[in-house]
Amino acid sequence: MISLFAGFSIAAATFSGAFLSGIFGMAGGQIVLAVLLYFMPVSAAMTMFSALMFSSGAWRAGLWRKHIDWGISLRYVIGSVAGMGVMLMILFVPSKPVVYLGPGLTPFIGDMLPKRWRPDVTKRGMAMLCGFIAMILQIAVGGAGNVLDMFFQNSPLSRYAIVATKAFTLLFSQVMRFLYFGLAALEGGENLPVELFLVCVLLTFAGGSAAVSLLNRLTDDSFRKWTKWLIYGMSAIYVARGLWLLVMDE
C-alpha cells in the first residue's frame, strides 16, 4: 500500500522527470526510478517505471516526430531484440544496489575510453550495438539511459534529433522491460498502485509539453553542455546511493 507522502513524491518526480527528459532527452528517468525504488520493491518499481517511461517517450516522440532518425531507430531495435534474447535465457533480477551502481558508474567508465573509441550512434554498426547493450543493461542493472546518452552525445545529430530519436528507440525497450519485470512482480505477489499510475501518466504528458519552449530556446552547444553536467550529477547521486545501500546491508 502506497502512503500519501509516497504518492505525492512519485507524482512530483514523474512531472519533474518528464520535464527534464523533454528538454534533454535524459536524466528524468533516473529521477523517477530513484524515487520509485525508494518506496517500492525492485520488480514493482521497474514495472511501473517502464510503463511511465513508455508514456513519456511516446509523448515526446509524437511532439518531435519529424526529427526522428528512422534508420538509427530500426537498427537500434534489431540490437535490442538480440539483447532481450540473451536476458530471457538468464532471467536475472538485479538488487537495489546494482540498479543504482550500474547506471551510475557507466558514464564515468565511458569517459575513460580514448576519444577514438567513444561510441557514436551514427557510425556503422553502432546503433545495433547501442540497442544490444542498452537492452541488457535495462534488465541487468535496471537502466541504460546513461549508456544511450554516450552514444547520442558523441554524434553530430541536432538536439531535436537526439531527443526525438532517443524517445522513439526507447519505446521498444520499455515494453520489453515492462513484460520482463511485470512477470517477476506477479510471481512475487507485488502489486502496482493503478490509480497513482494513471495520474502519473497524465503528469508525463504535462511535463513533456511544458519542456517544448525551453528546448526551442537552447542551442545545440548549450544542449550538449547541460546534458553532460546532468549526466555527471545524476550518476554521482546513483553511485552514492548504491554504495550507501551496500554499506547498510553489511
pLDDT digits (tens, 9 = 90+) for 180-233: 888 877 777 777 778 888 898 899 889 888 888 888 888 888 887 887 787 788
- Count of Cβ atoms closer than 10 Å to residue 18 Cβ: 31
Query: What is the model's pLDDT at position 15?
Result: 92
CA 212 to chain CA mean position, Å = 19
Query: What is the model's pLDDT at position 111?
Result: 66
Q: CA–CA separation, 243 vs 115, rounded Å? A: 29
Q: CA–CA separation, 4 vs 8, rounded Å? A: 6
Q: The pTM is what?
A: 0.72
The type of residue at 230 is L
Please compute the mean of the pLDDT values over residues 69-91 and round it to a whole number: 86
Query: What is the model's pLDDT at position 75?
Result: 93
Residue whose cell numbers read 505477489? 189
pLDDT digits (tens, 9 = 90+) for 147-190: 777 788 778 888 888 888 888 887 877 887 788 888 877 777 77
Instruction: Quickly state the pLDDT bin for 113 (edges 50, 70, 90).
Output: low
The type of residue at 132 is F
Contact assessment for residue 132 and residue 79, using Cβ atoms and an 8 Å cutoff:
yes
Q: CA–CA separation, 104 vs 144, rounded Å? A: 10
